[in-house]
C-alpha cells in the first residue's frame, strides 16, 4: 500500500536542486463513522483523505506548502510554492532537515487488517448494541445524545534529501456513548467509551456501564462550599492535566522563553514520587507510533525522574537550537511543518487503588470531570483554573455529588503538591495515560 505513497514522495524528491534540502510528507487515511439514535442509524460516513506537504530549506530559509490531494499535477505546484515561500523567511542557521541518527525504528504492530475487513453491518451492530446497553443500564437514563462507532486507518511516509525514508501505518477504532440521565426535573450527562486497534478489542459492555454511571452519579449534585482542600483527580482528569504539564516541556516553547520550566533542567520541580515519561513506543498508548513526523525513530523519553526535571522534548530544529539532539518528538500532519509534542505521557504508578487513596485523604473532593482547560490554564504563566464536577470525600468515603465549582492553583505548585499516585493506570484515547492522582492545597470555589 505504502509503495504508492513512497513513489509520490520519490518523484518530488527527484526534482530537488543541489542547493536545497527537500522533505516530502505524504499521508492517506480512511475513516468510518457510524452514529445511531433511538435504534436507527442516524449517519454513516465513510471517507478517504490524502495529501502531500513539502518543506524546502535553501540558504538557511524555510518554506512550506501542502495540498489535500495526491494528483500528479499538484505535486510540482506544491514544491514551487514551498520554494517561493522560503524566499520570504528570515535566515536561521539552526534550520535543517532531520538526518538518520542510528536509533532503530521500533516494530510496534499498530495495524490490523480487520478494521477494513469487518463488514460495516457489524460495526453498525456494535453502535446499536452500545446504545441499547446504556439505556438498559439504569432506569434514570432518559436519552442518548449520541452513540457511535468510529474507526480509521492512517498511513504516511516521510522522505527527504537528507536520507530519511520512513513508512508507517496504524489503525484505531472506538465506540462511545453520551447519555442523559434524568431524575425529576434535573438532567445530567455522562460519557463512556472503549478504544482499540481493531473492532475485537472493543468492550461495549464496559463502555455502556461507564457511560450510565457517569451520567447518573451526578444526579442531585450540589455546589460545595469553597476553601483550600485536597483533591483526588480521576484518571480521565489526570490524563488531561498531564497533557498540559508535558506541553510545558516542549523544547520549542522552552527555546523561545514560553515555558515556565525553561532554565530549570536538573532541578526538583515535583514531589520526589513523580516520574513522568513520554513513551510512544508503548503499543498500549493510543498515539503510539514507530517514527515521528520527521521520520526519526520514536523513543522513551524521561521528562521528570524522581521529581527532578530530566529533559525537554525536541524535534530536529528545536534540538539544534538548544544544543541537544532530537528526542523523536516531531508531530505534524501533511498540512504543517513539524512541531514538538508529547504522544504517550505516563506517570509511574503508585501502590494504592482509588478507594485506598480516598480513604487516606479523609476529607476533600474527587474530581470526576473538568471543563474549560483550554481557557482557564495558561501554560506560560502556570495559572490553572478550571470548572469541575465530582463527589465529596468525607470520613475517607465517597459522598454526595458536587457540581458548579472550580479548582485553581498553579501548575508549578500542583506538581509539588502531589501527595499520592494511584495504581489504576488507564489507557485513554488521548496523549496521556490516566491514573488517580492526589493533590493537596487546591483552591476550590463554591458557595
Footprint (CB under 8 A) of another protein, residues 148-167: none
- Residue closer to another protein (CB basis): 17 or 228: 228
The least distance separating another protein from the CB of residue 189, rounded to whole angstroms, comes to 5
Q: Counting contacts by CB under 8 A, is residue 298 touching another protein?
A: no
- Please select the residue that binds another protein; options are 59, 375, 399, 400, rule is CB under 8 A: 375
Between the CA of residue 45 and those of 180, 243, 418, what are the distances in Å? 24, 30, 44
Nearer to another protein, 194 or 386 (CB): 386
183 interacts with another protein by CB under 8 A: no
**DSSP, residue by residue, 113-127:** THHHHS-HHHHHHHH
400-414 in b/e burial notation, b at 16+ Cβ within 10 A? ebbbebbbbbbbbeb
Question: According to the binding rule CB under 8 A, does residue 69 interact with another protein?
Answer: yes
Sign, Cα dihedral of 37, 39, 42, 48? positive
Q: 285 or 402: whose CB is closer to another protein?
A: 402
**CB of 51 vs another protein, minimal distance in Å:** 8
Minimum CB distance to another protein, residue 57 (Å): 11
Which residue number, 164 or 444, has a Cβ lying nearer to another protein? 444
73 binds another protein (CB under 8 A): no
256 is a site residue for another protein (CB under 8 A)? yes
Which positions ≥6 away from 219 have C-beta within 8 Å?
A: 140, 181, 183, 186, 188, 401
Q: Give the CA angle between residues 331, 333, 337 to the nearest 5°.
A: 70
Report the nearest approach of another protein to the CB of residue 9 (Å): 18
CB of 203 to another protein, least distance (A): 23
* Among residues 23, 66, 141, 232, the one that binds another protein under rule CB under 8 A: 66
Count residues near another protein (CB under 8 A).
80
Any contact of residue 226 with another protein (CB under 8 A)? yes
Q: Kindly indicate which of the ranges 77-85, 275-283, 338-346, 393-401 contains the residues binding another protein, using the contact rule CB under 8 A.
A: 77-85
Other beta carbons within 10 Å of 215: 29
CB-count exposure of residue 136 (10 Å: 0-12, 13-18, 19+): exposed
Nearest approach, Cβ of residue 98 and another protein (Å): 17
Segment 332-371, which members bind another protein (CB under 8 A)?
335-337, 371
Distance, CA of 109 to CA of 100 (rounded, Å)? 22
User: Residue 316, interface with another protein (CB under 8 A)?
Assistant: no
Separation CA 50–CA 4 (nearest Å): 12
Stretch that binds another protein, among 73-81, 167-175, 296-304, 344-352 (CB under 8 A): 73-81
Using DSSP, state whether 98 is helix, strand or coil: coil
* 27, 63, 168, 401: residue in contact with another protein (rule CB under 8 A): 63
Helix/strand/coil for 4 = helix
Q: Residue 301 has what DSSP assignment?
A: E
Q: Does 443 bind another protein (CB under 8 A)?
A: yes
The Cα angle at residue 275 between residues 272 and 278, in degrees rounded to 5: 160
Inter-residue contact 414 to 407 (CB < 8 Å):
no
209 near another protein, rule: CB under 8 A: no
Query: In whole angstroms, how far apart are CA 106 and each of 23, 61, 178, 278, 294?
Result: 22, 32, 37, 15, 15
Closest residue by Cα to residue 407 from 389, 434, 432: 389
Residue 305 beta carbon to another protein: minimum distance, rounded to whole angstroms: 24
Nearer to another protein, 345 or 388 (CB): 388
**Segment near another protein (CB under 8 A), from 6-14, 165-173, 253-261, 339-347?**
253-261
Query: Contacting another protein (CB under 8 A), which of 405, 418, 421, 432?
Result: 405
310 is an interface residue for another protein by CB under 8 A: no
Nearer to another protein, 143 or 396 (CB): 143
Does position 60 bind another protein by CB under 8 A? no
Query: How is residue 429 written as a grid cell?
Result: 484515547
Size (the chain), residues: 447
Name the helix (H) or strand (E) containing 359: helix 354-361
Q: Is 49 in the site for another protein (CB under 8 A)?
A: yes
Give the range of 1-9, 75-83, 243-251, 277-285 binding another protein by CB under 8 A.
Answer: 75-83
**CB-CB contact of 255 with 322 (8 Å):** yes
Q: Do residues 304 and 276 make contact, with C-beta atoms less than 8 angstroms apart?
A: yes
Eight-state DSSP code of residue 163: S
- Considering only 6, 44, 110, 132, the residue that binds another protein (CB under 8 A) is 44
Please, what is the end-to-end C-alpha distance for the chain in angstroms?
Answer: 60
Kindly identify the residues of this chain, within the stretch 104-133, that bind another protein according to CB under 8 A: 120
Amino acid at each position: 500500500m505504502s509503495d504508492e505513497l513512497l513513489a509520490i514522495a520519490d518523484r518530488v524528491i527527484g526534482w530537488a536542486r543541489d542547493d536545497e534540502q527537500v522533505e516530502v510528507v505524504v499521508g492517506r487515511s480512511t475513516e468510518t463513522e457510524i452514529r445511531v439514535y433511538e435504534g436507527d442509524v442516524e449517519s454513516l460516513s465513510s471517507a478517504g483523505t490524502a495529501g502531500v506537504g513539502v518543506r524546502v530549506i535553501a540558504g538557511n530559509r524555510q518554506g512550506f506548502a501542502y495540498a489535500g490531494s495526491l494528483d500528479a499535477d499538484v505535486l510540482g505546484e506544491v514544491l514551487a510554492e514551498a520554494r517561493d515561500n522560503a524566499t520570504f523567511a528570515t535566515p536561521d542557521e539552526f534550520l535543517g532537515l532531520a538526518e538518520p541518527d542510528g536509533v532503530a525504528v521500533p516494530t510496534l504492530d499498530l495495524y490490523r487488517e480487520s478494521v477494513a475487513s469487518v463488514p460495516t453491518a457489524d460495526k453498525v451492530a456494535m453502535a446499536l448494541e452500545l446504545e441499547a446497553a446504556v439505556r438498559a443500564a439504569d432506569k434514570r437514563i432518559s436519552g442518548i445524545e449520541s452513540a457511535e462507532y468510529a474507526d480509521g486507518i492512517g498511513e504516511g511516509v516521510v522522505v527527504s534529501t537528507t536520507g530519511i525514508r520512513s513508512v508507517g501505518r496504524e489503525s484505531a477504532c472506538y465506540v462511545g456513548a453520551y447519555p442523559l440521565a434524568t431524575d425529576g426535573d434535573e438532567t445530567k450527562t455522562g460519557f463512556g467509551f472503549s478504544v482499540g486497534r481493531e473492532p475485537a478489542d472493543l468492550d461495549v459492555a464496559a463502555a455502556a456501564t461507564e457511560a450510565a454511571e457517569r451520567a447518573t452519579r451526578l444526579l442531585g449534585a450540589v455546589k460545595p462550599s469553597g476553601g483550600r482542600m485536597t483533591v483526588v483527580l480521576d484518571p480521565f482528569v489526570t490524563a488531561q492535566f498531564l497533557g498540559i504539564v508535558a506541553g510545558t516541556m516542549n523544547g520549542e516553547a522552552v527555546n523561545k522563553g514560553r515555558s515556565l520550566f525553561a532554565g530549570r533542567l536538573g532541578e526538583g520541580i515535583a514531589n520526589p514520587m513523580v516520574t513522568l515519561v513520554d513513551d510512544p513506543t508503548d503499543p498500549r498508548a493510543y498515539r503510539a507510533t514507530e517514527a515521528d513526523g520527521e521520520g526519526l525513530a520514536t523513543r522513551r523519553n524521561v521528562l521528570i525522574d524522581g521529581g527532578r526535571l530530566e529533559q525537554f522534548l525536541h524535534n530536529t530544529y528545536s534540538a539544534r537550537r538548544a544544543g541537544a539532539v532530537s528526542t523523536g518528538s516531531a508531530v505534524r500532519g501533511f498540512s504543517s511543518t513539524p512541531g514538538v509534542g508529547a504522544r504517550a505521557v505516563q506517570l509511574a504508578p503508585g501502590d494504592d487503588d482509588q478507594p485506598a487513596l480516598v480513604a487516606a485523604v479523609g476529607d476533600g473532593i474527587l474530581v470526576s470531570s473538568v471543563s474549560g482547560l483550554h481557557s482557564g490554564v495558561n501554560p506560560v504563566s502556570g495559572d490553572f483554573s478550571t470548572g469541575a464536577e465530582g463527589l465529596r470525600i468525607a470520613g475517607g468515603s465517597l459522598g454526595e455529588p458536587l457540581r458548579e465549582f472550580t479548582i485553581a492553583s498553579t501548575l508549578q505548585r500542583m506538581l509539588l503538591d502531589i501527595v499520592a499516585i494511584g495504581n489504576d493506570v488507564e489507557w485513554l484515547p488521548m496523549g496521556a495515560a490516566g491514573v488517580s492522582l492526589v493533590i493537596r492545597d487546591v483552591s476550590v470555589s463554591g458557595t
